Amino acid sequence: MSRYFYYLVVVEFVGSILSVIPSFLFESSKKGTIMSMLLALLAGVAFIYWITKFFNHYPGRGLPELLQQHIPKWMAFPILFLFSLAWFIFGLKTLLNYSFLLKRFLLPHLQINWIIALLLLFITYSFFMKTKKLLYTLEIVLFINIPLMIYIIGILYVNTGLDWDYVKKSMMYVYHAPNLLAFSASFLIFIGASNLIIVNREFKNKQKLTTFQILLLCVLGAWILFTNYFIPIGYNGFERIQYINFPWILGTDSLKVALAFLERIMFVFLFLHISVTFVNIIIFWHVSLELLKSTAKLVRRKQKESNMITYIFVLVVWSISLIISMKITESSYLMYARSLFVAFPPFFLLVLIVCWFISWRDKHDNRSLKTN
Amino acid sequence: MVNINNIIIEIRTDGRLIYEEKEDDSMLQATQTLEWLIQQLGHTTDMVNKPLKSNQKEATLVFIKTLVDSDKIQQMIIKPFFEIETRGNFIDYLHSLPDGQEITSQEQMLSELSKGSIVVSMNNYLFMFDIKKVHTNTVPITSLENTVLGPQSSMSEDIHTNINLIRNRYHQPTLTVEMLELGSKSIQSLAVIYDRELVDQTALEQIKYRLEQLNSKPLIQSTAELQRLINGRKVSLFPFFMITERTDRIVYNLSVGKIVLSLDGDPSTIVAPAIFTDFMAAMDDKYHSKLYTKFVQILRYVGLFITLLLPGFYVAATSYNPEILHTELALSVAGSRVGVPYPSYVEVTFMLIIMELLIEASIRLPKTISAAATTVGGLILGTAITEAALASNIMIIVVSAVAISNFAIPIGELNSAIRVLKYVFILFATIAGLAGLTFGLLAIVMYLTNSESYGEPYLKINIDLKSKGEQQ
């Protein structure tokens, strides 16, 4: 696969650490989180496998083009619109969690809506970027961040503050029936590949996902899930960890590297996450915007090039984010996120079904062409 | 209007008949043309109209004295005129001269005369030779891009000398030089130089198209002005062309398929397309040992980040997030700021502006006075300002570090872009502390990756993975 594909997957892996995913995992830590994580690992890797296999069939074409070709317009329109909405919500949930985090740890004196406005100022620029350029940005950000990230996680593993007894204790809860929320939360770290529905337009060469690459993603995913769940337990203890809002930050804050430029590793960690999550939001909203543009193309006959849709999208993003930021609090956010997260796995099942339907229609069309 | 083409064609086609008298009307044309030229140039006093006469031969020379090389006229035309016996032999001799120019119209003759050509009229024949005298063809030592190893001479201000310098380093038959003319008043020659086989055709077409759009400009006097006019952006901070005075850099760029524009009268040339990493490379990166080069390159990037981020970081760390520093450092920063009446962003901006003024002064002032300016400036940026409690000690270190590391960036245009950009980072840091700094950095990365220089992405990590399907 193109190296940009891995970036899409990895940015989601890394971004998951400071999202709400660990909190949701700890909520059911005595009710089958480990089992759900194992299931989610299988489901996630299978999802990556299927969706890349589908798109590798159609190099250089995104989902909108394929829908246009194989599916009647009245069906394609709601599908594209729904997908666009879904990707918008992915971006929004990440943005909200991100600004709560910023407020708590870096900008305590700014109000949440100012923080969101500040973020949107920078994010808006990305709406006018092309997919390819966005991938270059992603590459540079990851290029700077991943080595530091690996260093920090490495330190976290070898530090004496990590109490493996807690980890062992939490592992005793393995024989429990899986929990839906924990499954959804851990499944969510594998959705990076689904950005292919737009990004595949840039992969014009024939791509191939080899067994080795699947295994690599599988090992990497397992490692990230393991780190995500067990490292905070090792640092914060097992019993009452579900009551901590940002378990990872508290975990990393117990680290001090006296010889480093910044003594408290937590801040390095925060800055890494600020940038990774930032590109994460940008990509989600870029996909959403591109889907919306294709939806508009379906309706309009004239193929006129205009930035109209982008301006509308900017307006929608600003107003919705600011309105929500004024209404929402951290606890209500967690409540909404909980119900949203449960809806995500069925949604990605729908994505796969749409893909499957397209390839079925494609084969069908080919067969009828041959018989004619 | 006299049709000059007639005469030329006759000169070229009938080699045998050339010595015989021509029909009346072409004779009339040649004389008329000469008269027209003399009339057009008659108002200037340095125009010379010199008739020559020796036993059977007669000739007239027309030229502008201040532009041509009179020794060359003497050697090339006047001396042979009296030595060669017959008229026919002298015309043959004139035909054989390598400096001969093709005549296409009266206007062309006039414009060539004004650039330093001489017109020789012999009976009914007109000849034109390029014998301009150039005073700007000395090749100085490099002054902007100094290197320790490698070639030391830069370019001259004469375009032909420059093309000669380039050709002498790049011996390829595919090297193409296209001459254009720029500026409706100054009519400056511009050479578009590229390797025909390697050049990126779309970039070449775009550059030529942009150059054609420039017809209305009366004066274009320097390559820097030219690059500003053809870069196609109303407002631009980052350079999208490389301006260089080094022949080795030019030749290296030609060999990788880039396009070089050289304007007559300017020692620096434009190289396009140019991307971000080009501006971070010095030419002696190729000459030193590999490990040393890597070390210097890393040093440059460190310098880039220091000069860009350190002032903003100071603001953020003193006023916003002191908790991120080591406790001792945070305390000593706070301690050295005791007595400073301003918030940190005022302190930083104030000190940086004094530093910028100092740099400006040392660029603009004559060399004899600039020493005084630096001494006075040194006093301000030294201990005096801390004793007066207008800035902290650490601030002085920050300003000096910023000033020095700015010059680690080897190419001047990127250098000045970064010089401006650090104030943007101070603004971000003032609004949102370290988070603002991070967002600013992300925004710059987005802006740079989104930019293009003639179809080439401006900032991109290039990884050459040989395996199939990896590169897209």
Q: DSSP readout, B28-58?
A: HHHHHHHHHHHHHHTTSTTEEEEEEEETTEE
Q: Which residue in A has a C-alpha nearest to residue B447's C-alpha?
A: A125
Residue B302 predicted with pLDDT over 90: yes
One domain for residues B123 and B193: no
One domain for residues B86 and B187: no
One domain for residues B305 and B442: yes
Q: Rounded to the nearest 5 degrees, what angle is found at the Cα of A265, between the Cα atoms of A261 and A269?
A: 110
From chain B, pick out residues whose CB is under 8 angstroms from the CB of A133.
Answer: 449-450, 457
Helix ranges, B318-411 (H): 327-336, 344-364, 367-379, 385-387, 393-406
Rounded CA separation A102/A96 (Å): 10
Question: Could you tell me if residue B280 is inside a domain?
Answer: no
Q: Which residue in B has a C-alpha nearest to residue A142's C-alpha?
A: B461
Which of A106, A110, A129, A264 to probe by mutation at the B interface, max B CB count within 10 Å?
A106
Task: Inspect the interface and report whether the beta carbons of A139 and B461 lie closer than 8 Å.
Answer: yes
Q: How many residues does chain B have?
A: 472
Residue B59 predicted with pLDDT over 70: yes
Task: Inspect the interface and report whether the beta carbons of B461 and A136 lie closer than 8 Å.
Answer: yes
User: Which amino acid is residue B218, in one-letter code?
Assistant: P
B301: left (phi over 0), alpha (psi -120 to 50) or beta: alpha
pLDDT of B21: 43
Rounded CA separation A71/A68 (Å): 6
Residues of A in CB contact (< 8 Å) with B are 1-4, 102, 106-107, 110, 118-119, 122, 125-126, 128-130, 132-134, 136-137, 139-141, 143, 202-208, 262-264, 267, 271, 274-275, 278-279, 282
Task: Inspect the interface and report whether the beta carbons of B471 and A143 lie closer than 8 Å.
Answer: no
Q: Which residue in B has a C-alpha nearest to residue A110's C-alpha?
A: B432
**Last residue of one domain, picked from the residues B244, B274, B304:** B274
Task: Inspect the interface and report whether the beta carbons of B442 and A3 lie closer than 8 Å.
Answer: no
One domain for residues B407 and B369: yes
- Tens of pLDDT, residue by residue over A182-222, are 999 999 999 888 999 999 888 888 878 888 989 999 999 99
Rounded CA separation A286/A130 (Å): 9
- Tens of pLDDT, residue by residue over A253-283, are 888 877 777 778 888 888 888 899 999 999 9
Residue B154 predicted with pLDDT over 90: no
Which of A6, A140, A202 to probe by mutation at the B interface, max B CB count within 10 Å?
A140
ipTM associated with this complex = 0.90
Q: Which residue in B has a C-alpha nearest to residue A271's C-alpha?
A: B438
Q: Which residue in B has a C-alpha nearest to residue A204's C-alpha?
A: B472
Which of A55, A127, A136 to probe by mutation at the B interface, max B CB count within 10 Å?
A136
Residue B312 predicted with pLDDT over 90: yes
Which of B439, B463, B465 to probe by mutation at the A interface, max A CB count within 10 Å?
B439
Task: Inspect the interface and report whether the beta carbons of A207 and B469 lie closer than 8 Å.
Answer: yes
- For residues A239 and A291, which has the higher predicted lDDT (pLDDT)? A291
pLDDT of B1: 37
Share of chain A above pLDDT 90, in %: 35
- Which residue in the set B431, B443, B449 is minimally distant from A133, CB to CB? B449
Q: Rounded to the nearest 5 degrees, what angle is found at the Cα of B410, between the Cα atoms of B404 and B413?
A: 95
From chain A, pick out residues whose CB is under 8 angstroms from the CB of B442.
Answer: 122, 141, 275, 278-279
Residue B341 belongs to domain spanning: 288-457
Q: Which residue in B has a C-alpha nearest to residue A136's C-alpha?
A: B460
Q: Which of B51, B26, B27 is nearest to B38 (CA)?
A: B51
A127-153 average pLDDT score: 91
Question: Could you tell me if residue B230 is inside a domain?
Answer: yes
pLDDT of B466: 46
User: Which amino acid is residue B389, in one-letter code?
Assistant: A
- Tens of pLDDT, residue by residue over A10-29, are 999 988 888 888 888 888 88
A193: left (phi over 0), alpha (psi -120 to 50) or beta: alpha
Question: Could you tell me if residue B136 is inside a domain?
Answer: no
Rounded CA separation A67/A73 (Å): 8
- Which residue in the set A107, A129, A137 is minimally distant from B435, CB to CB? A107
pLDDT of B240: 86
From chain B, pick out residues whose CB is under 8 angstroms from the CB of A119.
Answer: 439
Task: Inspect the interface and report whether the beta carbons of B472 and A4 lie closer than 8 Å.
Answer: yes
Task: Inspect the interface and report whether the beta carbons of A118 and B432 lie closer than 8 Å.
Answer: yes
B73-83 average pLDDT score: 87
Residue B11 predicted with pLDDT over 60: no
Name A20's Cβ contacts closer than 8 Å, sequence gap at least 6: A97, A185, A334, A337
Question: Could you tell me if residue B261 is inside a domain?
Answer: yes
Whether A166 contacts A237, CB under 8 Å: yes
Q: How many residues does chain A have?
A: 372
Rounded CA separation A205/A1 (Å): 10
Name A333's Cβ contacts closer than 8 Å, sequence gap at least 6: A96, A97, A100
Query: Would you call B191 helix, strand, or coil by DSSP?
Result: strand
One domain for residues B292 and B269: no
One domain for residues B269 and B293: no
Task: Inspect the interface and report whether the beta carbons of A118 and B470 lie closer than 8 Å.
Answer: no
From chain B, pick out residues whose CB is under 8 angstroms from the CB of A263.
Answer: 325-327
Helix ranges, A200-329 (H): 211-236, 247-253, 265-299, 308-327
Query: Would you call B419 helix, strand, or coil by DSSP?
Result: helix
From chain B, pick out residues whose CB is under 8 angstroms from the CB of A271.
Answer: 434, 438
From chain B, pick out residues whose CB is under 8 angstroms from the CB of A207.
Answer: 469
One domain for residues B192 and B242: yes
Q: Which residue has the tokens 């990872």?
A: A248
pLDDT of A303: 61
Task: Inspect the interface and report whether the beta carbons of B445 and A119 lie closer than 8 Å.
Answer: no
- Which residue in the set A106, A110, A137 is minimally distant from B446, CB to CB? A137
**CA–CA min distance A184, chain B (Å):** 30
From chain B, pick out residues whose CB is under 8 angstroms from the CB of A107.
Answer: 432-433, 435
Q: Which residue in B has a C-alpha nearest to residue A106's C-alpha?
A: B435
The alpha-carbon radius of gyration of chain A (Å, integer) is 21
Task: Inspect the interface and report whether the beta carbons of A264 and B465 lie closer than 8 Å.
Answer: no
The mean pLDDT value of chain A amounts to: 88
Whether B68 contacts B118, CB under 8 Å: yes
> What number does CATH give the domain A3-371?
1.10.4160.10
From chain A, pick out residues whose CB is under 8 angstroms from the CB of B302.
Answer: none
Q: Per-residue confidence at B200, pLDDT binned at 50, 70, 90?
A: confident
Question: Could you tell me if residue B151 is inside a domain?
Answer: no
Q: Which residue in B has a C-alpha nearest to residue A210's C-alpha?
A: B469
How much of chain A is helix, strand and coil, in % rounded to 5? 80, 0, 20
Task: Inspect the interface and report whether the beta carbons of A122 and B465 lie closer than 8 Å.
Answer: no
From chain B, pick out residues whose CB is under 8 angstroms from the CB of A128.
Answer: 450
Q: Per-residue confidence at A289, pLDDT binned at 50, 70, 90?
A: very high
- Tens of pLDDT, residue by residue over B332-373, are 988 888 888 888 999 999 889 988 888 888 888 887 777 787
Q: Which of A308, A300, A312, A354 is nearest to A80 (CA)?
A: A354
Q: Which of A311, A288, A278, A334 is nearest to A120 (CA)?
A: A278
Question: Could you tell me if residue B465 is inside a domain?
Answer: no
Q: Based on the structure, what is the number of domains in chain B?
A: 3
Whether A77 contacts A298, CB under 8 Å: yes
- Which residue in the set B325, B450, B470 is minimally distant from A129, CB to CB? B450
From chain A, pick out residues whose CB is under 8 angstroms from the CB of B324.
Answer: 262, 264, 267
Question: Could you tell me if residue B189 is inside a domain?
Answer: yes
Q: Which of A135, A11, A289 is nearest to B445 (CA)?
A: A135
pLDDT of A137: 92
Which of A55, A124, A274 to probe by mutation at the B interface, max B CB count within 10 Å?
A274
One domain for residues B447 and B306: yes
Name B325's Cβ contacts closer than 8 Å, sequence gap at least 6: A262, A263, B317, B333
Rounded CA separation B437/B434 (Å): 5
Share of chain B above pLDDT 90, in %: 15
One domain for residues B294 and B418: yes
Task: Inspect the interface and report whether the beta carbons of B433 and A125 lie closer than 8 Å.
Answer: no
Residue B235 predicted with pLDDT over 50: yes
The Cβ of residue B346 has, within 10 Å, a number of other Cβ atoms equal to: 14
Task: Inspect the interface and report whether the beta carbons of A102 and B435 lie closer than 8 Å.
Answer: yes
- For residues A355 and A245, which has the higher predicted lDDT (pLDDT)? A355
Task: Inspect the interface and report whether the beta carbons of B439 and A206 lie closer than 8 Å.
Answer: no
Share of chain B above pLDDT 70, in %: 92
- Which residue in the set B325, B438, B457 is minimally distant from A271, CB to CB? B438
Name A294's Cβ contacts closer than 8 Å, sequence gap at least 6: A62, A64, A65, A68, A80
Of A362-366, B10-14, B180-184, which range is least confident? B10-14
